[in-house]
Chain A
Amino acid sequence: MKTNFNFQLYKNRKIVWLVSFSLCLISIIGMLISLKSNSIKAPLNLGLDYTGGTQITLERSCTDDCTFLNTNDISNNIIALKNQDKNFSSNTSPNLTRSQIQLLDNSKLISIRLPFLSAAQSDSVVSEVNKFFGPFKNENISVEIIGPSLGKQLLKSSLISLFFAFLGIALYINFRYDRRYSFLALFALLHDIIIVCGVFAWLGYLFDVEVDSLFAVSLLTIAGYSVNNTVVVFDRIREKGLLENELSFKYQIDKAVGATLTRTLYTSLTTLLPLICILIWGGSTLYWFAFALLIGVIAGSWSSIALAPSLLSITSNNMIE
């Protein structure tokens, strides 16, 4: 029997744990800082999908070279709507001073963030901005309005679906292997999720990157991917255990991990290739989605090659030093 690598996981297990522990710690610190900061007040910088609000994106119909706009001018025009537009004349109308305006793509795209508006109110904003800063490409106007209650609900349903997906996976591994494997697969998965959340907590805190419902989707995909990877390694460990049960458990694990190492690296690479392509060419809609998956795939490979098997070796009863 020949393996590609003489992989001594057991010997280096403490380094593996230290690396994982530090990464998780930095992640958790990121989430705590984010939670304590006045501008975010949550472990992650929650986007429009979860907090509610209005996002209007307008594309100016100018050729390559758009003249620069002053975001304050746009903001002032929107605030002025309060006094002149019938859709904003009531006392309960939203606070227009709380607008965030961004110019993207060399001043070609105007992105406006406002509190929750009604459809008619958002129309007013679009026509007002059009009056002063247009013309806009009509077919490229995108308006997104999400009520605050819907945002909370989405957050809740995202968390619930995450929880049930984890539970389902745990039950399956429990059924196919045993409780120890299922516990460790979940542990590895949690490790990956914490790292991805941590990266986004830091990104949110430092660069104002927001998490949307696609982020929840990416977490679930990472969960599936992470468990998939861990299970492949576990499957090998179990097979080794059956074939060469005269070997010590830690040795079996080293051999099993060594045998699946190439596969895990190749698989990670073939998954990373499309993701990197989406990052580069996929446009802004999918950028952070692909980025979250990228981090998740890297963390997932690490946890299934190194973390989960090295932990398995200490939980084992038939461990021989």
Chain B
Amino acid sequence: MGRKNYWFLVVILFAVLSIFICTNIPFQLGLDLRGGSQLTLEVQTTDDIPKITPDDIEGVKAVLDRRVNGLGVSDSQLQTIGTNQLLLELPGEQDPSGAAKVLGETALLEFRIQRNGTEVQLRDLQTQRNSVESIIKLLEDNNSAQLRKEININNEINKLFEKYNIQSDQILDIDQFNLLKNKINTDIAGLFEPTLLTGQYLTNAGRRQDQITNNWEVTLSFNNEGGELFADLSKSIAGTSRLLGIVIDGISYSEASVGKQFETAGITGGAATISGNFTADDARNLEVQLRGGALPLPIDIVQIRTIGPSLGTQNIRLSLFAALTGLLFVGVFMIFIYKLAGFVAVLALSFYSLFTLSIYALLPVTLTLPGIAGFILSIGMAVDANVLIFERLKEELRNGNTLIRSIDASFKNAFSSIIDGHLTTLISCITLFYLGTGFVKGFAATLGIGVVLSLFTALTCTKAILKFLMSYQGLRKTSNFINPNQIPSPSINLQ
């Protein structure tokens, strides 16, 4: 082992390191391989903001980030695409409509005060709501005997369904009753007039369970300005019969009276509570939406992809199998055509695959189906580099050059073709990476990394392995590289 084999040792060292990396660092799998949901959200313009700036996008992203974290999906990712879109990945999430609901809703929080002369209407609506709520509670407890009794007593309920134009053939459906409750609450909100105090003054939101009633409540705190507005607002209706309505997205959640004791200063301290008969989930969703703050711009969900996890594993299995079989064929072909050099190429390509995979794990590159396709193609590029070198080698040998000189010449002569081929592919990879979106990007990334590494392995690994083998006298035979009948006899060789 002379100085020549220095590179060979480096290559072996790299390979060992790569095996270590590949076995210890898990690969980051894309949603198409592990299952989950991917949502593309488009930020909409409004009359006030006709053009979306990067700052606007960042604002929306910050709000959505907080909301997504509130959803409690691990490993979720939110990234900006282009000028007006956001891509949200929720691995493992099989129910994107739940997530879509929390994300898509602006959760506009408003404090409203009751309009004069609406006392009777409000009382009626509140009574209706109470009966609907008690039925919902019974439905949740699944107490059907008592339920029928309840509905019999409440003949009014049927009238309500008629009034709000809800199909009543499946009257025991809990969804129908919730819909009814929302419609009543929308009507209640209509009895109140908007004020200046909205969700934009909110600094925090939380939830807690009432010790006595066990109902969940959402707590709010305002910034200074919001606190002052809230004090003014409560002062203006303190001690009157007018109520303060807390309205979210046009639906009233609670109506509260303000006691006479607040007549002088209003409710100070900048905090409020919404108690609207929430379940734990309702309270959590509302808290997430409120704490996330109001979105500075509305968003629209333009794309949803959901992939089941086992569909993903099936995808991996199929494409890996296809890739490995393809490589096997390539290996057999190379050894058949280039003999010893072909064997060197197979070794070099195995090292290449190891290096590439370890880079994917290190960076990390999110592996998607197109990404795997990119990897397979980059192997094609790596093979091509070897073919270019070995064709040159054959040519040199046929011209009667000695083996060692031919090896050196083949690398030197093939260099410019290899560089050009790799760089042109790299150019399209870079373009794709910057202009493409989603999985096009993934493809560009894997192919691009592959191209760079292929350049490295073709010029160093193949050479190092070849030189290492050539240090053994027994292998140093021209007939190990080309068919004996193609070796020119020495007499012709004298040019």
What residues of chain A have their CB less than 8 Å away from a CB belonging to chain B? Answer: 1-2, 59, 84, 86, 118-120, 122-123, 137-147, 149-150, 153-154, 157-158, 160-161, 164-165, 168-169, 172-173, 176, 213-214, 216-217, 220-221, 223-225, 227-229, 231-232, 235-236, 239, 259-260, 262-263, 266-267, 269-271, 273-278, 280-283, 285-286, 289-290, 293
Query: Nearest A residue to B400 by beta-carbon distance?
Result: A2
Q: Are B333 and A277 in contact (CB under 8 A)?
A: no
Q: Are B440 and A216 in contact (CB under 8 A)?
A: yes
Q: Does B383 reach chain A (CB closer than 8 Å)?
A: yes
Q: Does B298 reach chain A (CB closer than 8 Å)?
A: no
With both chains docked as a complex, state the minimum distance between the C-beta of B474 and any C-beta of chain A, in angstroms. Answer: 28
Q: Are A138 and B303 in contact (CB under 8 A)?
A: no
Q: Does B443 reach chain A (CB closer than 8 Å)?
A: yes
Q: Does B23 reach chain A (CB closer than 8 Å)?
A: no
Bound-state Cα–Cα, A265 to B315, Å: 31
Q: B101, B304, B399: which contacts A143 (Cβ < 8 A)? A: B304
- Say what secondary structure dominates the interface of chain A: helix
Q: Are B427 and A150 in contact (CB under 8 A)?
A: no
Can you list 26 residue pairs at the A/B interface with Cβ under 8 Å?
A119-B304, A123-B97, A139-B309, A139-B310, A143-B96, A143-B304, A153-B82, A157-B435, A158-B440, A161-B440, A164-B435, A165-B428, A168-B430, A169-B428, A224-B427, A224-B428, A228-B422, A228-B425, A231-B424, A232-B388, A263-B387, A269-B333, A273-B330, A274-B329, A278-B373, A290-B373
Bound-state Cα–Cα, A224 to B382, Å: 14
Given known pairs A225-B425, A274-B380, A285-B369, the reply for A143 and B432 (CB within 8 Å) is no
Docked complex: B301-344 residues within 8 A CB-CB of A: 301-311, 314-315, 318-319, 321-323, 325-327, 329-330, 333-334, 337
Q: Are B322 and A278 in contact (CB under 8 A)?
A: yes
**Interface residue count for B (Cβ, 8 Å)?**
81
Task: Report which residue of B94, B167, B370, B417 has the largest number of chain A beta carbons within 10 angstroms of its beta carbon.
Answer: B417
Q: Are B428 and A146 in contact (CB under 8 A)?
A: no
Q: Are A224 and B425 in contact (CB under 8 A)?
A: yes
- Contacting residues, chain A, for B327 (C-beta < 8 A): 274
- Contacting residues, chain A, for B179 (C-beta < 8 A): 86
Bound-state Cα–Cα, A258 to B311, Å: 48
Q: B305, B383, B428: which contacts A223 (Cβ < 8 A)? A: B428
With both chains docked as a complex, state the minimum distance between the C-beta of A265 and any C-beta of chain B, in angstroms. Answer: 10
With both chains docked as a complex, state the minimum distance between the C-beta of A116 and any C-beta of chain B, in angstroms. Answer: 9
Q: Are B304 and A144 in contact (CB under 8 A)?
A: yes
Q: Are A161 and B432 in contact (CB under 8 A)?
A: yes
Q: Does B391 reach chain A (CB closer than 8 Å)?
A: yes
Q: Are B308 and A220 in contact (CB under 8 A)?
A: no
Beyond the given A2-B399, A147-B40, A267-B383, could you list 5 further A-B residue pairs with CB under 8 A, ordered by the A residue number? A141-B94, A217-B370, A228-B424, A266-B333, A283-B314
Q: Are B42 and A172 in contact (CB under 8 A)?
A: no
Q: B40, B300, B384, B438: which contacts A270 (Cβ < 8 A)? A: B384
Question: A-B pairs with the 8 shortest C-beta distances?
Answer: A274-B326, A147-B302, A119-B97, A161-B435, A228-B421, A277-B326, A283-B318, A224-B425
Q: Are B437 and A165 in contact (CB under 8 A)?
A: no
Bound-state Cα–Cα, A137 to B310, Å: 9
Given known pairs A160-B435, A286-B319, the reply for A278 and B337 (CB within 8 Å) is no
Q: Are A142 and B307 in contact (CB under 8 A)?
A: yes
Q: Are B424 and A157 in contact (CB under 8 A)?
A: no
Q: Are B315 and A169 in contact (CB under 8 A)?
A: no
Bound-state Cα–Cα, A229 to B314, Å: 34
Query: Nearest A residue to B318 by beta-carbon distance?
Result: A283
Q: Are A86 and B175 in contact (CB under 8 A)?
A: yes
- Contacting residues, chain B, for A154 (C-beta < 8 A): 437
Q: Are A1 and B399 in contact (CB under 8 A)?
A: yes
Q: Are A145 and B303 in contact (CB under 8 A)?
A: yes
Given known pairs A147-B302, A262-B391, the reply for A281 and B380 (CB within 8 Å) is no
Given known pairs A149-B42, A164-B435, A270-B383, the reply for A232 and B421 (CB within 8 Å) is yes
What residues of chain B have their CB less than 8 Å away from a CB belonging to chain A? Answer: 32, 35, 40, 42, 82, 85, 94-97, 100-101, 167, 175, 179, 300-311, 314-315, 318-319, 321-323, 325-327, 329-330, 333-334, 337, 369-370, 373, 376-377, 379-381, 383-384, 387-388, 391, 395, 398-399, 413, 416-417, 420-425, 427-432, 435-440, 443, 447
Bound-state Cα–Cα, A236 to B95, Å: 57
- Contacting residues, chain A, for B443 (C-beta < 8 A): 217
Q: A2, A227, A277: which contacts B424 (Cβ < 8 A)? A: A227
Bound-state Cα–Cα, A157 to B417, Å: 31
- Contacting residues, chain B, for A275 (C-beta < 8 A): 326
Q: Are A213 and B425 in contact (CB under 8 A)?
A: no
Bound-state Cα–Cα, A283 to B322, Å: 9
Q: Are A235 and B370 in contact (CB under 8 A)?
A: no
Q: Are B305 and A145 in contact (CB under 8 A)?
A: yes
With both chains docked as a complex, state the minimum distance between the C-beta of A59 and any C-beta of chain B, in angstroms. Answer: 8
Q: Are B315 and A285 in contact (CB under 8 A)?
A: yes
Q: Are B333 and A273 in contact (CB under 8 A)?
A: yes
Bound-state Cα–Cα, A139 to B92, Å: 10
Q: Are B308 and A270 in contact (CB under 8 A)?
A: no
Given known pairs A169-B427, A223-B428, the reply for A277 and B329 (CB within 8 Å) is yes
Bound-state Cα–Cα, A160 to B309, Å: 33
- Contacting residues, chain A, for B304 (C-beta < 8 A): 119, 122, 143-145
Given known pairs A147-B302, A161-B436, A273-B326, the reply for A278 and B421 (CB within 8 Å) is no
With both chains docked as a complex, state the minimum distance between the C-beta of B209 and any C-beta of chain A, in angstroms. Answer: 29
With both chains docked as a complex, state the minimum distance between the C-beta of B288 and any C-beta of chain A, in angstroms. Answer: 17
Q: Are B167 and A84 in contact (CB under 8 A)?
A: yes
Q: B175, B322, B417: which contacts A231 (Cβ < 8 A)? A: B417
Q: A139, A228, A286: which contacts B35 (Cβ < 8 A)? A: A139
- Contacting residues, chain A, for B381 (C-beta < 8 A): 228
- Contacting residues, chain B, for A214 (C-beta < 8 A): 370
- Contacting residues, chain A, for B175 (C-beta < 8 A): 86
Bound-state Cα–Cα, A260 to B398, Å: 15
With both chains docked as a complex, state the minimum distance between the C-beta of A178 and any C-beta of chain B, in angstroms. Answer: 14
Q: Are B437 and A157 in contact (CB under 8 A)?
A: yes
With both chains docked as a complex, state the minimum distance between the C-beta of B240 and any C-beta of chain A, in angstroms. Answer: 39
Q: Are A118 and B301 in contact (CB under 8 A)?
A: yes
With both chains docked as a complex, state the minimum distance between the C-beta of B82 and any C-beta of chain A, in angstroms. Answer: 8
Given known pairs A141-B306, A282-B322, the reply for A2 and B398 (CB within 8 Å) is yes
With both chains docked as a complex, state the minimum distance between the C-beta of B462 and any C-beta of chain A, in angstroms. Answer: 15
With both chains docked as a complex, state the minimum distance between the C-beta of A209 and any C-beta of chain B, in angstroms. Answer: 18
Q: A59, A120, A236, A277: which contacts B325 (Cβ < 8 A)? A: A277
- Contacting residues, chain A, for B373 (C-beta < 8 A): 217, 278, 286, 289-290
